[in-house]
Structure 1
Amino acid sequence: MKHEDLGQEREGSPPDEDLSMLGAFVDGELPPGRRDALQARLAADPQAAARVAAYRAQKAALQALCESAQVAGERAAPDNATAALDAAPAVLVLRPREPWWWRAGMAAAWVAVGAGFAVAVSALVPRLAPAHAPEFVADATPPATRIETPEAFARRADVAYAVYSPEQRHPVEVGAADEAHLVAWLSKRLGKPLSVPSLAEYGYALVGGRLLPGNTGPAAQFMYENDAGERLTLYVGSSGADRDAVRLLRDGNRRTFYWSNDGTGYALSGPQTEPKLREIAFDVCGALGGKPGQW
């Protein structure tokens, strides 16, 4: 802005004595004669009238702030301090706001502190985990190094049977009509060649299969069904044991025979109403390379 522009702006502003008179008018400090004269002037001077209106709005806002602060103080103060509070002048304190660069620096500092705390906690968790909670430590280990007990493997198979065997419309992901694709797909996902043993001699036909999550990686489930609608499932996944004998897990009205061979775990699940389930499990074990007769 040029110096002459500044001069013009000052020339358009009211003199200091006019500002003082307008302020006194708003505060009710003008004598009656001068007050009447100023009221007549305001009727013909829109700029002065607008300034008076702004003064009055500012004064009303300040009074409202002071009154609310005084009421809050009276509620918090004891009875014997009420008189002193009434006598104290109302004060409005304006605090300067911190610059943006200071707030940004503090935010960055808190982020750094939080990151450091997270690193420290992650390093201390394995040391602080109690000895009676091995599953807590197991969840913190990479999948490749986790070791699942045979019983835990059998329970996963039992849960998968309980979830999917009642399904009518979607019991499997890939049906038996596309068995070759099913076996190739699941073999690729598990990283080992799989085969589907036939249970036709026991009256069970293959329904299909699906991919499931396991504790140490992907797992597969093959489902069979007989003419009565009863179903069996064969659960396959990685096992930490090279060879385990056939064992039995009972859970309610379900039965699961499980074993492992060459680092692969197997579990055959079915209803307790199937009297030949143990015989079927031993035959499936032999068909998949196991030697139950030696156990």
Structure 2
Amino acid sequence: MTRLIPSEEELHAYVDDRLDPVRRAEVQAWLANHPKAAQRVEGWRADARQLRTSLAGLAQPLAGPRVDRDQLRQQARHRLKRRWASAAAIVLALGVGGLGGWQARDASFADAKPMADAVQAHRLFADSQALDIQARDPDQLRTWLQAHFHQVGQLPDLAGYGFAPVGARLLSNEQGPAALVVFQDGAGRRISLFLRSPGEHFRRMPQGQRIDGQLQARYWSHGAYNFALVSAADDGRGVGIGEALRTTL
């Protein structure tokens, strides 16, 4: 007998069109009677479109002949903040917008730079208030992370590098859940740890790093996940933090 209440994984699969037709119809009927869950799922879908557009190098048309990408990102943040405010009652919504299916499946992603999704997730969400949980306690963040990623190791305490936890956001890729974990130092500078399962276009990778604008991504694969630390390119602490993360996760 098919279980009526969908799991978190099934909701992600529903957004990504990975359910069989019978189960999809059951989940759709269940969502019709559970508006808070439906709002959460629609948030995932909206964020998926936004990040997919960003990763593909496209932009939604704005007034005038030229597209200002900074303006587009600012408008996206405003929309996300408004949606967060209207859905604040959803406890651990794990995505008043996760990014269900954010990785487009077309051929353009074959040439994507390593962990481009991590860099874009940092740009879109690390400086926003649209986090699923606000966590100032490292233990709270560790508990949250291990609850959703059972095969991940221990998240280290980054206080020695001047960073404290801010919160986290549950996202999604074509293979299932992903996450952005955000830290901040005393001057307000933020870094993020991004993790996800390898996917069709984003497979496991050797340890490496690259600079993208003013950001630097240090990436690696370990166990069941791909990881990326995203920080300011001029922040020398990234070397030590990256090493601390690689040896514990």
Tell which has more relative contact order, 1 or 2 (C-alpha 8 A, sep 6+). Answer: 2
TM-score normalised by length of structure 2: 0.49
Q: Which has the larger radius of gyration?
A: 1
Query: Structure 1 or 2: larger helix share?
Result: 1
